[in-house]
Structure 1
Amino acid sequence: MTDRSAPGGSGVQASGAGSIGVGGDVGVAITGDGARVVMLPAEAVRWARDVDAPPGAANLPGSASGVFVGREDELARLRRLLTDEGEAAVTQVSAMRAIHGLGGIGKSTLALHYAHLHRQAYTLVWWLNAATSEQIVTGLASLAMRLCPQWAPTADVPERAAWAILWLQWHPGWLLVFDNVEHPDDLRHYLGTLPDGHHLATSRTGTGWHAIAPTMPLGLLDADAAVSLLCTLALGEGQTPSPHQREEADALAAELGYLPLALEQAGAYLFETGTSLADYRTLLGQVMDTAVGGIDPERTIARIWRHTLTAVEHRNPQAVTLLDAMAWLAPDDIPRTLLAPLSPDTRTLGEALGVLHSYNMISFSADRQSVSVHRLVQAVLRHRPAAGPDEHPPGRQDTEHLIRQAVPTQDTNAPQWERLLPHVIALAVTTPPHSPASIETAYAYHATAQYLYREGRDAHSIPLRTAALVHYEQVLGDTHPHTLTSRNNLALAYSEAGDLTHAVPLLEATVAQDVQVLGDTHPDTLQSRNNLAAAYYAAGDLDRAVPLLEATVAQFEQVLGDTHPNTLQSRNNLASAYESAGDLDRAIPLYEATLTQYEQVLGDTHPNTLHSRNNLAYAYYAAGDLDRAIPLYEATLTQYEQVLGDTHPNTLHSRNSLASAYESAGDLDRAIPLYEATLTQYEQVLGDTHPNTLHSRNNLAYAYYAAGDLDRAIPLLEATLIQRKQVLGDTHPNTLTSRNNLAHARKAAETVEQPDTANPATTPDLQHPSAPPDQPE
């Protein structure tokens, strides 16, 4: 401990490690391990001992009066960690905590608010830019200018920094904030030299601290706090967002990844420009380097991350290559094996990923076999320009190469497909305008879409089929057979999604081009014509569907024969159209004959046979013959579960149909639980707004209604109607059914009345024409 003499005294005696004796020149080390020792004159040393800081002295870089939400728990935790020596102290009398996280996550903001909140608890609060050791020295030197203006202006920077270190040694109870530490080891000397206060560091890097200080990783804001912050900044304090605005803010906050600086930047932009929350989402990536009033141009998200990438590239150029590639993939669960081809060996890959992880640009999964990257980092990286008009943007070509290599060669490798699926879709939906086309990439999209088709999830393949079609058109031309096949497949995906507005015109155009290029009776022409008729059927346009199906069946029989699978499929669709037209006298015999032929040609348990059997059961059901319908439904469902699995969409459709038959037989005790289980599975497998999910939800609501449970029926019918209008359109037949059922349910709340039936209609089984070969020429 150092003895203090009265001002003007002749000197002091000192003892103990690190003590300072005042009365002559003193040498002070100002950088690492005493490498730079600065001699201070006795007069300066006396000033260091005798000058006190004024109350609340600080040099904080901003006010704490701005909007600050969602970090109250972190503030309290930081205070506990700095004041609880048992948990966070570096030495017996000092405490140090390093906050680390992704650039823009709010590390400096948290430190600033902590410093303001507890300013009066410290003798001094001093903020130091700490990206380099030289900046730390400069920051310390500014403390001498503040506290000792009678001497400091005549001294150089190292002398002022040395004086500041002496002052801090003499005057305990301060807080030093080291902001944006690039190299944790730069702080080692100051922690050892300055033991009598609190040190708080912020850093983009989370590694290198184990020998310096405990760390406190800072995560993203929670969703509610992020939405509140965005609404306050975008609309102005005191303004209450409407439900629609809050919904839009919720979507935008998710797009921004709940990153505080991005939310602040977006809110300021929205407030100043009057841009809507929805429109800002379409501009994302283009405006991340735009500073408006109140935003420091050097503190935009894009600029901060450019600085981070420069630091990363300086340490490991391979890391930037990997991050550029990851920008075009899904943000979560990126397998290391997918990235491996970009590195010569496992060690190089691990080292590059390690650098990205140290800068918080990626995070590892628990087993460290996959990584995740913040979605906004991806958005910023994707919007960098290409080197030339015919070039890919940075990382894009590498990612396409990775996806092409990763596409499974075996159709049955479901786990591999499922893990790859989100990354192929992400690549497809982020295709830049005028990006160079590639047949190999088109095939990767097509192969992935075909996997979804086989799994009964063709509606989810739309982005893949759209991207594949663009590549085929650019490379092969508008009327190449593979282009026509791709266009037909996209139309079928639209039809499966209930988007007949896109499906019907696309199929009409495809049929016309098939006739011109392939001829009127080519099998692919006939299949496209069959699919167009099925789309007319789905749209409720039986006047066009029935004649077209009759003509197509006749042509299939002539060209491919009476028992070809495509002939049977078209015949099954014709039976469905007869049934929808109320002509059961023609529908049931045609279904029965088609089913017999399916069993002979494809076998008893082929998915097409099962679909035909399910449709025949519905025809019996529509004819009121439940004695034949229910056993056939039950047998078919059992076979679906054995062949396709418990949650395949075709299995769910069959289960839904059986529940309807139970309901019609008056057996609501079996119908309602089966409906409920089926709806839950539809939501999990196909999503909340898939047409089949909506169909299942409508039927469950009707069953509640039939059971007299209007409290559950009406809200479910209302929600289904809203979703059907959004997904299918206001005049789609299923939308009209929902509207009719809801009207009856509301009326039944006042009077006892039986509603119209809401039984599920059979759906024509749409099949793809022959797929293009693996590598079309």
Structure 2
Amino acid sequence: MVGQVLTGMGGVGKTQLAARHARDAWRSGRLDLLVWVTATSRQAVVDGLAEAAQTLLGADREDPERAARAFLAWLEPKPAPQAPRWLVVLDDVTDPADLTGLWPPDSPTGRTVVTTRSRDAALTGRGRRQVTVGVFTEEESEGYLTTALAAHDREPLRELMALGGALGWLPLAMSQATAYVVDAGITCATYRARLADRAQRLADLRPTALPDDQTTGVAAAWTLSLDRADHHAPVGLARPMLQLASMLDPNGIPEAVLTGAPALNWLAQEAPSQDTVSSDDAVRTLRVLHRLSLLDHSPRTPHRAVRVHRLVQRAVRDTLTEAEQDALARVAADGLVEAWPEVERDTELAQSLRANTAAVIGVAEKALYEPASHVVLHRYGRSLGMAGQVSDAIAYYANVVRVSHTLLGPAHRHTLFNRAVLANWYGRAGDAAGTVAALTDVLNDMEHLLGPGHPYTHLVRPLLALWQRAAGDGTAAAALGEWLESPHLKVSPDDPLTFAVRSDLAHQEGGTGDPSSAVATYVALLADATRVLGPDHDQTLAIRGHLAEWQGRAGAPSGAVAAYEALYEDYARVLGPDHPHTFLLRARLANWLGVDSSAAAAVTALRSVLDDMAKVLDPEHRDLLLVRERLAHWQAKSATDRTR
């Protein structure tokens, strides 16, 4: 019969599954012999088999190795009339090497079941099949929680499932949590609140008496595995690696975050036995942790290569002081910034980096503001907005302003800067007047608190003028020109803000009746932006869009169509075909198709854009409303053309 190796992280119920199988097989009369061995060491295996040999064969326990071999020999296949039906369970195997020479034989009438946290290839072989045991499904969790809390005050199913989700559907955790809820007379929501409390230790959230004959709490379920992992080569790196991973997203961490320079420096600092730590060492450490089921490492999905159960993360963090967690949060943030590309061509990577940043913020937000705002806070917010999630970016920056106001104080330069960034996103959401009002307040405070010559003051002044002009203030262009020509310019001519000001002045130039001059200015500006920022930078792409627009306004609609078509290919490559900016670019292309070809062509193109937008955007998304307005315009024009 085929032997089975049940493998999985601590707490998924491997032992319970093996026990259930053994009990059912024995009670049904399908077995003549059942042997259960707690196999946490080689000596424990030898002693367990020797005890079976003494009971069954009368072997001498004074020589356990010989007795164990005698028992294994007795299990060898025999002719049918004498063949016993047996089951040997080797529970909680710690090291596959402990079973060398001690595996029960293959037999048509016998079976071996092994439970282990190890995923070493040595555990599989001829006649053995590895079975991965995972956490409960949501359906299984619903059944378990409903039954376990049936005698407790009945709570809505959504509360039970919220509890299961907070526990990551881990069977051991749900068993102990439900017992704790009943014993303490609290609600599931109260338990979840205690679980989320950073000051509350996971070890304290267990019942006085463990249920179901359990012998260990959730917090201790992984201790032996981690101790063992730390002794594997590279020695001493497993624990600090798992500590770092415990600060990040349980649903997937980019491998680059855990193998980049910040992570390597941290590992070397925490493992003095290692003179230096390389990225190969970091990957080997991840493989050790994977083999011992402390995390899942999937190199083929590099953007979410490492997954760690949320309760493993919580148990690891519980062993750290608040100061240690804060230090780890900054290391994780440094790693995220290093892995974050300036141009987000890969939307899946960007989503993963945002999710991991959110996880660090959730665990140790305060650490990212002291002694000053960490740059990852702005990479996260900018990424949200550039992904088209402008409302989320505004809500996020509103919180950043609140936290920096509390932790850094209202006069701190980063608090003032965060206010300016939040105001800028108001404008991105369509509220130019609101942005002007907010930036005016920020600029006044900066001039008073930081001084008129401070770099932040110097940055906000042209930003305010840009939004004043967007809000219809024609006098703002003069302020932009003065800023750009200032001999005391604190910003490099190659800074993205400088390109934004030059672009706005070129737009103003065309708007005063000289579109050909605007085209020439944009051609020169595009050359500079491509040289300095690169062809795929969002500023460079935006300048190409402005150039295409002014080519059309200068009397070359065919040129505008060709330019927009080429630009669309790059937008789709860099940002993705479903990015809001890509959709708006297609809408502008459709507009010039209407000018160059026919209203019917614009209608067809805009309908296609709307169909695609409706698949990925909220029905009330601002961009959807804008494109609908353009479609209505061209539909009306198409109807007029047909009546002529």
**Structure 1 and Structure 2 fold alike (TM over 0.5):** yes
Shift of 1:721: 6.2
SS of residue matched to 1:722: coil
State the AA in 2 paired with 1:103.
G
Shift of 1:98: 3.9
State the AA in 2 paired with 1:489.
F
Please list the CA deviations of residues 364-386 of structure 1 after superposition, one character each: whole Å capped at 9, or x if unmatched. 6869x999461425532255276
1:739 aligns with 2:622: no
Aligned mates of 2:112, 2:329 — CA distance in 1:
47
SS of residue matched to 1:179: strand
Equivalent in 501, 506, 511 of residue 617 of structure 1: 506
1:748-767 mapped onto 2 (5 Å cutoff): none
SS of residue matched to 1:103: coil
1:176 aligns with 2:88: yes
1:187, 1:212 within 8 Å by CA — same for their partners in 2?
Answer: no
Q: Tell me the equivalent position of 2:422.
A: 494
Aligned mates of 1:451, 1:250 — CA distance in 2:
31
1:653 aligns with 2:566: no
Going from structure 1 to structure 2, the CA distance change for 1:606 and 1:743 (only over 3 Å counts) comes to closer
Aligned mates of 1:628, 1:606 — CA distance in 2:
23
Please list the CA deviations of residues 622-671 of structure 1 after superposition, one character each: whole Å capped at 9, or x if unmatched. 55754333443344233222211233232233344445556766444542
Aligned mates of 1:421, 1:142 — CA distance in 2:
54
SS of residue matched to 1:345: coil
Please list the CA deviations of residues 98-136 of structure 1 after superposition, one character each: whole Å capped at 9, or x if unmatched. 444432466557768998999999766847343345478
Equivalent in 331, 337, 349 of residue 264 of structure 2: 337
Aligned mates of 2:54, 2:542 — CA distance in 1:
78
Aligned mates of 2:564, 2:92 — CA distance in 1:
62
2:548, 2:563 within 8 Å by CA — same for their partners in 1?
Answer: yes
SS of residue matched to 1:478: coil
1:384 aligns with 2:318: yes
1:574-593 mapped onto 2 (5 Å cutoff): 574=465, 576-581=467-472, 583-584=473-474, 586-587=475-476, 591=480
Q: Tell me the equivalent position of 1:429.
A: 361
Q: If you compute each CA radius of gyration, which structure gives the higher value, 1 or 2?
A: 1
Please list the CA deviations of residues 438-482 of structure 1 after superposition, one character each: whole Å capped at 9, or x if unmatched. 99x635x535557889999999899899889969966xx736x6x
1:679-718 mapped onto 2 (5 Å cutoff): 681-682=574-575, 694=580, 696-701=582-587, 703-704=589-590, 707-709=602-604, 710-718=606-614
Aligned mates of 2:29, 2:519 — CA distance in 1:
78
Going from structure 1 to structure 2, the CA distance change for 1:486 and 1:560 (only over 3 Å counts) comes to closer
State the AA in 2 paired with 1:615.
D
Shift of 1:486: 1.9
Aligned mates of 1:250, 1:747 — CA distance in 2:
48
Q: Tell me the equivalent position of 2:243.
A: 324
Aligned mates of 1:171, 1:382 — CA distance in 2:
49
Aligned mates of 1:696, 1:282 — CA distance in 2:
42
TM-score by length of structure 1 reads: 0.52
Identity level (%): 16
Aligned mates of 2:178, 2:552 — CA distance in 1:
56
1:144, 1:163 within 8 Å by CA — same for their partners in 2?
Answer: no
Equivalent in 674, 678, 686 of residue 567 of structure 2: 674
Q: Tell me the equivalent position of 2:152.
A: none
Please list the CA deviations of residues 326-369 of structure 1 after superposition, one character each: whole Å capped at 9, or x if unmatched. 423564421262311111233897698786455232566869x9
1:129, 1:139 within 8 Å by CA — same for their partners in 2?
Answer: yes
2:334, 2:376 within 8 Å by CA — same for their partners in 1?
Answer: no
Equivalent in 291, 294, 299 of residue 361 of structure 1: 294
Bigger relative contact order (CA 8 A; separation at least 6): 2
SS of residue matched to 1:180: strand
Q: Tell me the equivalent position of 2:154.
A: none
Aligned mates of 2:513, 2:146 — CA distance in 1:
59
Shift of 1:314: 9.2
Aligned mates of 1:262, 1:306 — CA distance in 2:
15
Going from structure 1 to structure 2, the CA distance change for 1:340 and 1:702 (only over 3 Å counts) comes to same
Aligned mates of 1:163, 1:281 — CA distance in 2:
54
1:204, 1:359 within 8 Å by CA — same for their partners in 2?
Answer: yes
SS of residue matched to 1:708: helix
Aligned mates of 1:284, 1:143 — CA distance in 2:
52
SS of residue matched to 2:94: coil
Shift of 1:487: 0.9
Aligned mates of 1:361, 1:228 — CA distance in 2:
25
TM-score by length of structure 2 reads: 0.61
Aligned mates of 1:399, 1:659 — CA distance in 2:
47
1:455, 1:649 within 8 Å by CA — same for their partners in 2?
Answer: no
Going from structure 1 to structure 2, the CA distance change for 1:646 and 1:382 (only over 3 Å counts) comes to farther
Aligned mates of 2:239, 2:534 — CA distance in 1:
43
SS of residue matched to 1:654: helix
Q: Tell me how large the CA RMSD over aligned residues is.
A: 6.7
Aligned mates of 1:281, 1:720 — CA distance in 2:
37
Shift of 1:204: 1.2
SS of residue matched to 1:346: coil
2:8, 2:134 within 8 Å by CA — same for their partners in 1?
Answer: no
Going from structure 1 to structure 2, the CA distance change for 1:619 and 1:105 (only over 3 Å counts) comes to farther
Aligned mates of 2:575, 2:453 — CA distance in 1:
36
Shift of 1:698: 4.0
Equivalent in 433, 444, 447 of residue 540 of structure 1: 433
Aligned mates of 1:740, 1:452 — CA distance in 2:
27
Going from structure 1 to structure 2, the CA distance change for 1:401 and 1:537 (only over 3 Å counts) comes to closer
SS of residue matched to 2:526: helix
Q: Tell me the equivalent position of 2:36.
A: 128
Aligned mates of 2:194, 2:536 — CA distance in 1:
35
1:283-294 mapped onto 2 (5 Å cutoff): 283=196
1:230, 1:266 within 8 Å by CA — same for their partners in 2?
Answer: no
Aligned mates of 1:547, 1:604 — CA distance in 2:
24
1:634-653 mapped onto 2 (5 Å cutoff): 634-653=523-542
1:698, 1:720 within 8 Å by CA — same for their partners in 2?
Answer: no
1:698, 1:717 within 8 Å by CA — same for their partners in 2?
Answer: no
Q: Tell me the equivalent position of 2:151.
A: none
Aligned mates of 2:240, 2:436 — CA distance in 1:
58
Aligned mates of 1:596, 1:251 — CA distance in 2:
61
State the AA in 2 paired with 1:396.
Q
State the AA in 2 paired with 1:323.
L
Aligned mates of 1:554, 1:397 — CA distance in 2:
33
Please list the CA deviations of residues 677-731 of structure 1 after superposition, one character each: whole Å capped at 9, or x if unmatched. 42653469xxx8xxxx645534534655762235423334546762876xxxxxx
Q: Tell me the equivalent position of 1:202.
A: 115
Aligned mates of 1:552, 1:321 — CA distance in 2:
44
Please list the CA deviations of residues 233-276 of structure 1 after superposition, one character each: whole Å capped at 9, or x if unmatched. 6799xxxxxxxx99x999997x877x76489769989x999969
Number of residue pairs matched by the alignment: 566
SS of residue matched to 1:191: coil
Show structure 1 runs of 5+ residues with no match. 1-81, 84-95, 237-244, 501-533, 726-734, 755-777
Going from structure 1 to structure 2, the CA distance change for 1:679 and 1:121 (only over 3 Å counts) comes to farther
Going from structure 1 to structure 2, the CA distance change for 1:337 and 1:719 (only over 3 Å counts) comes to same
SS of residue matched to 2:318: coil
